[in-house]
Structure 1
Amino acid sequence: MLITIYHDAATFLEKARPFLEFYEAESNLILGISLRMLHSNSLQSDLPYFITVEDEEGLVVVGVMTPPQSLMLYGERADCKVAIDLIVEELYMRDAYVSGVVAPVQMAHTFARTWSIMAKQPYKLQRQERIYVLTEVEEPTCNAGQLVLATEADLDLVTRWMYAFQVDAGLRGWGPETENIARRKINSCDMYLWFDGQPVSMGGRTRPTINGVGLNAVYTPPEFRRRGYASTFVAQLSQHMLDMGQKFCVLFTDLANATANSIYQQIGYKPVCDVDEYHFSAT
Structure 2
Amino acid sequence: MRPDDWHLTHDLDAFLRRAGDFLASRPALHTVPLTVLDNLRRRGPHVYGEEAPLFGVLERGGAVRAVSLHTPPYWINLTSLTEEQADALALRLASAGHRPPGVSADRATADAFADAWQRHTGAGADVWKKQRLYRLVELTVPEPGPEGAPRIATAAATDRARLMSWYEEFGASIGEHQLQDAGALADARIAHGGALFWETPDGTPVSLAVVTPEVAGQVRVTTVYTPAPLRGRGYAGAATAEVSRAARVAGAREVLLFTDLANPTSNGLYQRIGYRPVADFTVYRFPE
More divergent stretch after superposition (205-214 vs 57-66): 57-66
Which of 93, 111, 118 aligns to 2:95? It is: 93
Q: Which residue of 2 aligns with 1:63?
A: 68
CA–CA distance in 2 between the matches of 1:35 and 1:183?
16
Pick closer, same or farther for the CA change 1:220–1:69 going to 2, 3 Å. Answer: same
Corresponding residue of 1:227: 233
**Cα deviations across residues 103-123 of structure 1 (Å, max 9, x unaligned)?**
011111111122123222212
Residue 162 of structure 1 aligns to a residue whose secondary structure is helix
Q: Distance in 1 between matches of 2:261 and 2:130?
A: 6
Cα distance in 2, alignment partners of residues 225 and 162 from structure 1: 16
- Moved runs in structure 1, 4+ residues, more than 6 A? none
Residue 47 (structure 2) pairs with residue 19 (structure 1): no
Corresponding residue for residue 118 of structure 2:
116
Superimposed CA distance per residue, residues 225-271 of structure 1 (whole angstroms, 9 cap, x where no aligned partner): 11111111101110011111112211011001101011101111111
TM-score (norm 2): 0.90
Aligned residue for 1:259, secondary structure, equals helix
| Partner Cα distance (1:203, 1:251) in 2 | 11
TM-score by length of 1: 0.91
Which letter does structure 1 place at the counterpart of 2:175?
G
1:199 to 182, 191, 205: 205
**Match of residue 252 from structure 1:** 258
Q: How big is the shift at 1:66? A: 0.8
* Structure 1 residue corresponding to 2:151, chosen from 148, 151, 158: 148
Q: Which residue of 2 aligns with 1:158?
A: 163
Alpha-carbon distance, 1:82 to partner: 1.3
Contact 1:29–1:207, Cα closer than 8 Å, also in 2: no
Take 1:52 and 1:201, find their aligned partners in 2: how far apart are those partners? 40
How many Å apart are 1:138 and its aligned residue?
1.6
Tell whether 2:143 aligns with 1:137.
no
How far is the alpha carbon of 1:135 from its aligned partner? 4.2
Please, which moves more after superposition, 152-161 or 100-109?
Answer: 152-161
Is 1:30 the counterpart of 2:30? The answer is: no
What SS is found at the alignment partner of 1:171?
coil
Is 1:173 aligned to residue 178 of structure 2? yes
**Aligned residue pairs: how many?**
278
Equivalent positions of 1:40-55 (< 5 A) are: 40-41=43-44, 42-55=47-60
Gapped regions of structure 1 (runs ≥ 5): none
Q: Secondary structure at the match of 1:261?
A: helix
Unaligned runs of 5+ in 2: none
Amino acid corresponding to residue 94 of structure 2 in structure 1 = Y
Q: Which moved more, 1:129-138 or 1:252-261?
A: 129-138
Deviation at 1:211? 0.8
1:49 deviates by 1.1
Secondary structure, aligned partner of 2:252: coil
